[in-house]
């Protein structure tokens, strides 16, 4: 299970103006044409100006420097001031699609369909936000899947203020390109976010799917009642960008009112993580020759690292079980 389409933003963020995005260091520009969204390399072949600084005219993108225009396939359609025949000029184009309120791009030959989350489609209410963190993808993915930090980083938001803990059984399984931890025995968390949104909790699942999907699924006796899907990408060497989608069945009333209360709290939790991750990244750079120490509670990191290195996680062949106090 590997997702070859990478979510690079919310569809609502792309209006009439071109949208610059970066994927593994490759700058792209997305823009809307009558035939749908198109993606080109964000570099004019003439004097290398970023096309995203230009505008969209009749479905073509116009370079802000000398006004060359390119269609959605990257073919040059006009060189203003030229009298006579237009020479051939191209910008590389990329596959892009709009799905479930997100914009996905890929550089893969045979990308299949994009992963839109464990809970999506009709009957689902969803909220989306974008974020950027100064860190690496492995650190951010681990952070989202790490239940132990919530007592400290998110005290009072995702967790109650009381230090009470419960014994929880964690089962870890996986396969090529993915790893998943299932938590059983955890009562509903006592922080504000959980109080607002969750009913009775049966279990929860945290999963990582290569190359950058991190998902938390909180399930009740009758299926998922809250899913957060993070689409992460290493945009630059020190920058991780992500689109987070929060979804719940609309029948359970993740309506506008609750969403309006919930959203700022979720945003707050994301900001708390961003601050600690960025501060830790700066320290890691200052102490670049000293390795970080992992502890027995860092259950997911070895598997995330293995998957990111292109290896099969050990739990694919030997599922693991841990008892922890959460």
* Binding partner of 63, given ligand FES, Fe ion, none, CB within 5-8 angstroms per partner class: ligand FES
Other C-beta atoms within 10 Å of 65: how many?
15
Q: Which residue in 23, 40, 63, 252 binds ligand FES (CB under 6 A)?
A: 63
The pattern of x and - marking residues 168 through 207 that bind ligand FES according to CB under 6 A reads ----------------------------------------
Residue 46 binds: one of Fe ion, ligand FES, none (C-beta under 5 to 8 A by kind): ligand FES
Q: Which is nearer to Fe ion, 37 or 192 (CB)?
A: 192
Whether the Cβ atoms of residue 299 and residue 172 lie closer than 8 Å to each other: yes
Sheet of strand 26-33: strand arrangement:
6-10, 102-106, 93-99, 36-41, 26-33, 19-23
CA 192 vs CA 30, 131, 198, 233, 266: distances in Å? 38, 22, 10, 29, 10
Distances (CA, A) of 78 to 36, 81, 276: 21, 9, 49
Spatial neighbors of 148 by CB under 8 A, at least 6 apart, are 297, 324, 326
Residues 66-125 touching ligand FES, rule: CB under 6 A, are 66-68
273 binds Fe ion (CB under 5 A): yes
The token pair at 231 is 């689409």
Segment near Fe ion (CB under 5 A); pick from 26-34, 35-43, 198-206, 266-274: 266-274
Per rule CB under 6 A, is residue 40 in the interface with ligand FES?
no
The runs of H, that is alpha helices, within the chain are 137-145, 150-153, 192-197, 256-286, 301-308
142 binds Fe ion (CB under 5 A): no
CB of 60 to ligand FES, least distance (A): 13
User: What is the token pair recorded at 241?
Assistant: 């960008």
Q: How far is the CB of 103 from ligand FES (least distance, A)?
A: 24
| Number of residues located near ligand FES, criterion CB under 6 A | 9
65 lies in the site for ligand FES, by CB under 6 A: yes
Stretch that binds Fe ion, among 109-117, 120-128, 211-219, 270-278 (CB under 5 A): 270-278
Stretch that binds ligand FES, among 41-49, 163-171, 242-250, 252-260 (CB under 6 A): 41-49
Q: Could you tell me if 98 and 37 are in contact, meaning their C-beta atoms sit under 8 angstroms apart?
A: yes
Residue 149 token pair: 């930090």
Element (H, E) at 244: strand 239-249
Site string for ligand FES, 42-61 (x = CB under 6 A): --x-xx-x------------
Per-residue tokens: 195 = 């109080």
| Minimum CB–partner distance for residue 136 and Fe ion (Å) | 16
Report the interface residues with Fe ion, using CB under 5 A: 273
Report the interface residues with ligand FES, using CB under 6 A: 44, 46-47, 49, 63, 65-68
């Amino acid at each position: 299970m590997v997702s070859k389409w990478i979510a690079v933003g919310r569809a609502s963020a792309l209006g009439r103006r071109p949208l610059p995005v970066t994927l593994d260091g490759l700058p792209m520009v997305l823009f809307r044409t009558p035939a749908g969204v198109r993606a080109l390399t964000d570099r004019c072949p003439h004097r290398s100006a970023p096309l995203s600084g230009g505008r969209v005219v009749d479905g073509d993108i116009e370079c802000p420097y000398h006004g060359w225009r390119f269609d959605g396939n990257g073919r040059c359609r006009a060189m203003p001031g030229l009298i006579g025949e237009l020479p051939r000029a191209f910008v590389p184009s990329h596959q892009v699609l709009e799905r479930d309120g997100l914009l996905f791009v890929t550089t893969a030959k045979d990308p299949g369909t994009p992963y839109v989350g464990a809970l999506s489609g009709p009957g689902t209410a969803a909220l989306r936000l974008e974020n950027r963190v100064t860190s690496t993808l492995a650190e951010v993915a681990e952070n989202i899947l790490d239940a132990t930090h919530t007592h400290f980083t998110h005290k009072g938001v995702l967790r109650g203020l009381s230090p009470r803990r419960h014994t929880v059984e964690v089962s870890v399984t996986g396969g090529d390109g993915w790893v998943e931890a299932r938590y059983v025995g955890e009562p509903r968390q006592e922080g504000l976010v959980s109080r607002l949104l969750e009913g009775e909790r049966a279990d929860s699942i945290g999963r990582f799917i290569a190359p950058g999907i991190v998902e938390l699924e909180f399930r009740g006796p009758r299926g998922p009642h809250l899913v957060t899907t993070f689409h992460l990408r290493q945009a630059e060497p020190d920058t991780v960008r992500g689109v987070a989608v929060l979804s719940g069945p609309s029948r359970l009333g993740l309506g506008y009112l609750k969403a309006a209360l919930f959203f700022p709290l979720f945003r707050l939790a994301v900001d708390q993580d961003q601050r600690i991750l960025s501060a830790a990244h700066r320290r890691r750079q200052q102490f670049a020759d000293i390795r970080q120490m992992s502890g027995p509670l860092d259950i997911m990191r070895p598997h995330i690292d293995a998957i990111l290195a292109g290896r099969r996680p050990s739990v694919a062949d030997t599922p693991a079980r841990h008892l922890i106090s959460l």
